[in-house]
Amino acid sequence: MKKDIHPQNYRMVVFKDISCDYSFITRSTVDTKDTITWTDGKEYPLVKLEISHMSHPFYTGKMKLIDTAGRVDKFRNRYAKKQEVKK
């Protein structure tokens, strides 16, 4: 194994899922400008996430529905006129 290839500046960092307001703390080397006060009263660097295991549809079982009904209705209306002309 190669020596001295892993970073040495690990520190505690808070990761916050902004879509469901879920936070967790872990060790990381990520650079960030934001900070947050954790439940222990100490201030930690903050990384904002768009999605985590608490908001991802695979883990939650809840799928976000896209407005496909509108698209399907438009399709049917557009081609229903052509079907009437053929009859």
- Domain extent, residue 52, equals 11-86
In a domain, 1, yes or no: no
Q: Consecutive 10-residue runs of the chain (87 residues): their mean pLDDT?
A: 86 91 93 94 93 71 60 77 67
Residue 86 is predicted with a pLDDT of 65
Residue 44 is predicted with a pLDDT of 96
Residue 50 is predicted with a pLDDT of 83
Q: How many domains does the chain have?
A: 1
Residue 64 is predicted with a pLDDT of 56
CA distances, 28 to each of 45, 69, 82, 84 (Å): 10, 43, 60, 64
What is this structure's pTM?
0.62
Residue 11 is predicted with a pLDDT of 94
In a domain, 76, yes or no: yes
